[in-house]
Chain A
Amino acid sequence: MRHDASPQRCCGRPPACRRRAALLLAALVVLPTGLLAQEPDLGTEAQRAAGRQVYLEKCAQCHGENGDGQSYATPFLRPAPRDFTAGIFKFRTTPSGELPTTDDLRRSIREGMPYTSMPAWRGVLSSTEITNLAYFIKTFNDDFTGPYGVPTVVEIPRDPGFDEDNLERGRQVYEENQCADCHGNQGRGNGPSAPTLEDQWGFHIRPADLTKRWTFRNGQTRRDIYRTFTTGLDGSPMPSYDMPEEDRWALVDYVWSLSRSEPNYATAAYSHAVEGPLDLSRGPALFEEAEPAYFPVVGQVIEPGRSFYPGVNGIELRAVHNADEIAFLVTWHDLRADTRGRNGPDLPAPMNEPARPDTATTFSDAVALQFPATLPTGVERPYFLFGDRKNAVDLWFVDLAEGTGRRYIGRGYRDLQPASDGPPIEVRTAYDDGAWQVLFKRARLAGEGLSFPEDTFVPIAFSVWDGFNQERGNKRGITSWYAVYIAPLEQPAALGPALGYGLATLLLGLALVGYTRRKYRTATA
């Protein structure tokens, strides 16, 4: 059972109110029995003073000198740095609406929040420094010093371990609690409510992509997952859930089964050589034999059109080729298919712009594969951001509102020219439950310009535009250069030479022993 009827309501009602209600209840029930004797854990004056020193040095640049989350970096960070004065904390071992324990604050500082600007401070700060910091952070909100400062702790029982038999029940729990409303049917963070979610401060907030465990802000162990939905993430639309113990572990098992623990980022994709024709109408099935390569997508924060919180954080590539053609399948997760509006790599975008989700659907989703315009003979490659004056890039661009391919020759973001020469590109697109699938096909060899010869690493880079995030032109998610290897159509023989070398070595060994024995016998005779 969900504690709050709707995610919107849960963030609309500030936990401070809830806290007051809770206190009233506590005053009625608990105070008379005199059980409120426990003091808040606030540390000593010296510990808080030491914590303040560390805070001003390491934390204030994002969380602000007054702990209100207002700083130089704030406009550029999403999720925004925590405002400690509000007394609302996402990561707790305490019930929804209550303050975190000292250990909760310590854990957040120590482990950080993966894939946000909050780094893990273990290894940089000592355990003592982290404790002092936690005590200092408690000084930003008075509730810590009062009766709310002694929160109840939700015990997490021993993990029974992953049990495949639980998955069916886990799937039911996922459905009963409407997890899919935000996180999507397959957990890709693309539920129907996903585009409308806001946090306490009115910023749009993306539901976690449950297939990418490494991005879980509250940690990716099974206990972390258990804690996250048991205590909820205050200030965000993620409520806390009340359910029987077995159901909790079944849900943990289910979330566990949806996700990989590591992104296993690749540096190269290996195109699979096939004999038959490459028929794009077969869809992703055409790429069944090809091994996927997953590359990290980061924000383009280098040139104007800076994208500090790109909508996409990774892209997967598969490639197949035959004697004449090569085909690529790129897939990535997107919380919504933006197929209205338009997009283009050459649309103007300001240097910086405030974050606001695109409700007007002005810009559509888009993707581009980037190759050097001519295969580099040496190791030098074009500048990875749309090329440079000396070395041009060949962009295979697809505006997903149109679903057809366009080519550009790029010599930097200010010099992108539509290209019409060279072999034509065939494109197919599909959006399947939170995942875009875009297929490309082209002749493998071209007289001039870009070719994909056998036994060659061809440099490849990607751009992804999330229309929801108002990404267009140079405001985009990017990758640096990676490579796609075009395997030879005929694999060189391996077994024959291996046996040959082995046999030769054996004969050599026998000859050596035979020679030595004969010589020895002659010597002793």
Chain B
Amino acid sequence: MNLLVFAAVLAAMLAVRFFLKNLHILVWLALWWVALFVVFKYGIEPPLPASIVNMFMAIVTLALLAYLSATTSYLRQATEAVVRFMVDRRFTVPLVVVLLTVPALVAWQVYAERTARPTPPVSGRTIHPPPPNTISFKGKTIDLVNGENPYRALETSDPEAFAAHVENGRRIYYENCVFCHGDNMEGDGLFAHGYDPLPANFNDPTTIAMLQETYLFWRIAKGGPGLPSESTPWASAMPAWENFLTEEEIWDVILFLYDYTGFRPRAREEIH
């Protein structure tokens, strides 16, 4: 969400509401239409696809028409205005302009659509694909639901040993991960621009901050090739690190990711 856009639209609508009294109902509806369009088009991050915006605007148009026809006086006001525009001699020139402009726009739109270059199919991405309950790691079963980072407990019981694990994780990160995930863990490493989707940004509160450590273990160990076959396509370039790292090294790098970003892993939900 882009709060600035929201605030600007809200402020503009409130200003119109309080400073321009007795607006014609059609003007008022048009303002609503424009305001919502601006919100859908510029107020949402990441931007909505054009087809979704068009769909939303069709719904908005219907809703505004429904609002108009729900009140008899409004409806009469609106129809009278439209009829006056088409009949009154004062409006002849603008009427001719509208009668010519609209077909021209339609023709231009059709022409643009027919000659536009097709856009390549987008590769979809599910932000947090559902993890399996367990995975097999070099013959060992790892419980993703009830499992825990075996070295996490050291944080309180033996801070020195814990620090050694974090330091080892740091080594792993800068030998293996930094090239894509970047120095500051923002997914903007040296090679990040070669990939779509971009490497994960660990500083973003919607990534590791809302995941359990076992989830990270799964994603690191199995990588792009280990993603579930449902909800494909996966275009993830993340390697399956189980081929190159030991179990302890993966847990250590997870400790380092949380240590560096200052986030806490999501705790396992207790079921009573």
Question: Does A296 make an interface contact (CB < 8 A)?
Answer: yes
A436 CB within 8 Å of chain B: no
Known contacts A119-B188, A506-B103; decide if A71 and B115 are in contact (CB<8 Å). no
Q: Are B179 and A498 in contact (CB under 8 A)?
A: no
B190 is an interface residue with CB less than 8 A from chain A: yes
- State which of A124, A270, A379, A504 has its C-beta within 8 Å of the C-beta of B117: A270
Give the docked Cα–Cα distance between A351 and B175 (Å).
12
Bound-state Cα–Cα, A119 to B123, Å? 27
A270 to B120, CA, bound (A): 10
* A513 touching B170, Cβ below 8 Å: no
Chain B residues, CB < 8 A from A517: 86-87
* Cα-based distance from A503 to B104 in the complex (angstroms): 9
Contact B86 A380 (CB under 8 A): no
Task: Say which one of A199-207, A419-427, A478-486 lies at the interface with B.
Answer: A478-486
Contact indicator B190/A115 (Cβ below 8 Å): yes
Chain A residue nearest in CB terms to B177: A301
Q: Which of B5-13, B58-66, B105-113 contacts A (4 or more CB under 8 A)?
A: B105-113
For A470-498 the 0/1 string (1 means CB < 8 A from B) is 00000000111111010000001111011
CB-CB nearest in chain A for B234 = A380
CA separation between A481 and B194, bound complex, in Å? 10
Contact A62 B118 (CB under 8 A): no
A140 close to chain B: CB less than 8 A: no
- Please tell me if the beta carbons of B110 and A498 are within 8 angstroms of each other in the complex: yes
**With A379-B233, A383-B225: A119-B184 Cβ-Cβ less than 8 Å:** yes
* A498 and B107 within 8 A (CB): yes
Q: What 0/1 pattern do residues 170 to 192 of B give for CB contact below 8 A with A?
A: 11011110111011101011110
**Contact in complex: A483, B102 (CB < 8 Å):** no
- Residues in chain A near residue B189, CB distance under 8 A: 117
Interface size class of A (residues with CB under 8 A): 35 or more
Q: What distance in Å separates the Cβ of B271 from its nearest Cβ neighbour in chain A?
A: 36
Inter-chain contacts of B188 with A (CB < 8 A): 119
Q: Within 8 Å CB of A270, what residues of B?
A: 117
User: Which of the four size classes fits the interface of chain B?
Assistant: 35 or more
B195 close to chain A: CB less than 8 A: yes
Interface membership of chain B positions 189-228, coded 1 if the CB is closer than 8 angstroms to chain A and 0 otherwise: 1110111100000000000000000000000000011000
Report B-chain residues with C-beta under 8 Å of the C-beta of A381: 233, 235
Query: Contacts A506-B99, A506-B100, A513-B99; is A379 near B118 (CB within 8 Å)?
Result: no
**Chain B residues whose C-beta falls within 8 Å of the C-beta of A268 in the assembled complex:** 119-120
Q: Is the CB of A505 within 8 A of B179?
A: no
Q: A501: which of B106, B117, B180 is its contact (CB, 8 Å)?
A: B106
Residue B49, interface by CB 8 Å: no
Q: Are A61 and B184 in contact (CB under 8 A)?
A: no
> Does A66 belong to the interface (CB within 8 Å)?
no
Q: Which residues of B contact A483 (CB under 8 A)?
A: 120-121
- Minimum C-beta distance from A79 to chain B (A): 11
CB-defined contacts of A492 to chain B, threshold 8 Å = 114
CA distance A316 to B100 in the complex (A): 45
| Pair A481/B235 contact, Cβ less than 8 Å | yes
Given contacts A270-B117, A502-B104, A513-B95, contact A58 B184 (CB under 8 A): yes
| Contact among B98, B117, B179, B225 with A388 in the assembled complex (CB-CB below 8 Å) | B225
Q: Which residues of A contact B (CB under 8 A)?
A: 58, 61-62, 71-73, 76, 115-117, 119, 121, 124, 265, 267-268, 270, 296-299, 301-303, 308, 351, 378-381, 383-384, 388, 455, 457, 478-483, 485, 492-495, 497-499, 501-506, 509-510, 512-513, 516-517, 520
Q: Give B contacts to A, CB under 8 Å.
A: 83, 86-87, 95, 98-100, 102-104, 106-108, 110-111, 114-115, 117-121, 123-124, 170-171, 173-176, 178-180, 182-184, 186, 188-191, 193-196, 224-225, 232-233, 235, 237, 239, 244
Could you pull out 22 A-B pairs where Cβ atoms are within 8 angstroms? Answer: A58-B184, A61-B183, A71-B174, A72-B174, A268-B119, A299-B179, A301-B191, A308-B179, A378-B232, A380-B233, A457-B121, A485-B117, A485-B120, A494-B110, A497-B110, A498-B114, A505-B106, A509-B99, A516-B86, A517-B86, A520-B83, A520-B87
Q: A502-B107, A517-B87 are in contact. List 11 more A-B contacts (CB 8 A).
A: A73-B174, A296-B194, A478-B194, A480-B194, A480-B235, A494-B114, A497-B110, A498-B107, A498-B111, A506-B102, A509-B98
